[in-house]
């Protein structure tokens, strides 16, 4: 079972669970430039030619919730900062919401798809 979220962000399950609990993460620098169409437009504005785009889907797989949790919380970003600011009671509630949202297979492995956007272009001579 492999599910993909609309955005394909590797931490989308965390973002969704935080949002469900009412946490506001705000916009990070560069968020507006994440869609592949926006990246292509940036390349076009700079005068590059032969621009090609592609999305790359990568399966995220974790043996269980504990492995997923360690991997996600090893990062230093806005979602992890929000998690680290939680009281123990709120953290327990968050983990419960997160567990319920995570796509798992029959052996309880967590599996979902993350997406990266790639763009390339040529410098005019």
3-state secondary structure of 50: strand
Distance between CA atoms of residues 63 and 97, nearest Å? 19
Distance between CA atoms of residues 61 and 69, nearest Å? 12
Residue indicated by tokens 């700079």: 46
Using one digit for the tens of pLDDT, what is the confidence trace for 85-120? 999 999 999 999 999 999 999 998 999 999 888 899
In the prediction, which pLDDT does 2 show? 40
In the prediction, which pLDDT does 33 show? 57
Which is nearest to 95 in space by CA: 119, 68, 74, 55? 68
What residue numbers bound the domain in which 83 lies?
Answer: 3-122
Residue indicated by tokens 């979220």: 5
* Domain tally, the chain: 1
In the prediction, which pLDDT does 86 show? 93
Percentage with pLDDT > 70 across the chain: 87
51 CB-contact burial (10 Å; exposed 0-12 / middle 13-18 / buried 19+)? middle
List, run by run, the mean pLDDT of 10-residue segments along the chain (125 residues).
Answer: 56 89 72 75 91 92 95 86 92 95 91 90 87
- Strand pairing report for 49-62 and 110-122: antiparallel
């Amino acid at each position: 079972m492999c599910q993909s979220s609309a955005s394909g962000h590797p931490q989308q399950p965390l973002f969704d669970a935080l949002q469900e609990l009412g946490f506001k993460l705000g916009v990070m620098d560069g968020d507006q430039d994440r869609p592949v169409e926006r990246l292509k437009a940036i390349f076009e504005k700079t005068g590059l030619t032969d621009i090609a785009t592609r999305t790359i889907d990568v399966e995220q797989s974790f043996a269980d919730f504990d492995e997923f949790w360690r991997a996600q919380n090893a990062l230093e970003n806005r979602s992890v900062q929000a998690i680290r600011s939680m009281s123990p009671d709120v953290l327990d509630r968050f983990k419960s919401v997160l567990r319920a949202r995570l796509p798992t297979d029959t052996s309880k492995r967590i599996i979902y798809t993350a997406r990266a956007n790639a763009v390339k272009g040529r410098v005019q001579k």
